[in-house]
Homo-oligomer: A and B are copies of this chain.
Amino acid sequence: MTSKITLFQHGTGAMIVPGLFDGTIDIQELLTHGDTGIGSGDGLDGESIINNGTPLLIRGDGSVTIADDHFTVPFVNAHFAAYSTINNIQINDFQSLGNYIFKHHQYQNILFSVKLHGQFEWVKTRSVFKQSKPYPSLVATAKSEKRFESQHLSGTVIAYYYPDAFSKFAVGGFHAHFISDDQSIGGHLMNFSGFNGDLGIQKFKKLDLELPIDNADYLNHDFKNDDIEAAINQAERES
């Protein structure tokens, strides 16, 4: 079992940029690495979030289902939750969350996870539709993404922070997914406002990274002409 100071990562952000979307780890195996996590889906079939051991998939049409044991994902993070939690905190928006954390913790250069659970005044998420081979690039896929908004709801944010030195193979900075308690809205978190609830932070000493070394498309790809960081930033940040 992966320890509570270990963050598991399967796949890389660099893979996703040119369209290497094959799922290469299934949910059953993924759950051996954590009860908490966020990731993509096979062929970029939606956005996934594992909360308290339950793997949920938010598809391009916004529908939320429990991901099947055999569902596969190309790029995912997971860990076993052991958050240090502060209760009844107010956070204005996504930007303020980072400001708050770095004001109180010297975590700029380490890997950590953040979990928010409570009430939100407003949440904006997005998801993407399953693509077919030959897969388009990440930026082209993002053009057909759907965005979702909701007000006055309760829900959970699970996020990971990677220092900038990791920006080519993960998402540098924060990467967050959301699911509402009633599962009416979820996906990749673009922004939120007016959070009031519990903030959990869990820092890691180790990164356990697994590469899809049996995937022919991954082995064959020439990454030289992919501008990894620019594409991740374009696709991951709100425009």
List residues of chain A with CB under 8 Å of any chain B CB.
12, 14, 106-111, 163-169, 203-211, 213, 218-224, 228
Contacts and interface: CB of A to CB of B under 8 A. Distances in A.
Given A109-B221, A209-B207, A166 B164 contact: no
A224 to B, nearest CB: 8
Nearest 9 A/B pairs, CB to CB = A14-B165, A165-B169, A207-B209, A106-B219, A165-B168, A110-B213, A206-B210, A205-B213, A12-B165
A107 B209 CA distance: 17
Nearest to A219: B106
A111 B208 CA distance: 14
A78 to B, nearest CB: 14
Number of identical monomers bound together in the oligomeric complex? 2
Contact of A219 (B110, B168, B213, B224): B110
Nearest to A169: B165
A209 B211 contact: no
Prevailing SS type, chain A contact patch: mixed
17 contacts: A12-B165, A106-B220, A107-B219, A109-B211, A109-B219, A109-B223, A163-B223, A164-B168, A164-B224, A165-B169, A205-B211, A206-B208, A206-B210, A207-B208, A207-B209, A207-B211, A208-B209
Contacts of A165: 12, 14, 168-169, 223, 228
Contacts of A224: 164
Contacts of A228: 165
Contacts of A223: 109, 163-165
A35 B207 CA distance: 21
| Candidate in A108, A109, A211 with the most chain B CB atoms within 10 angstroms | A109
A223 B172 CA distance: 13
Contacts of A110: 211, 213, 219
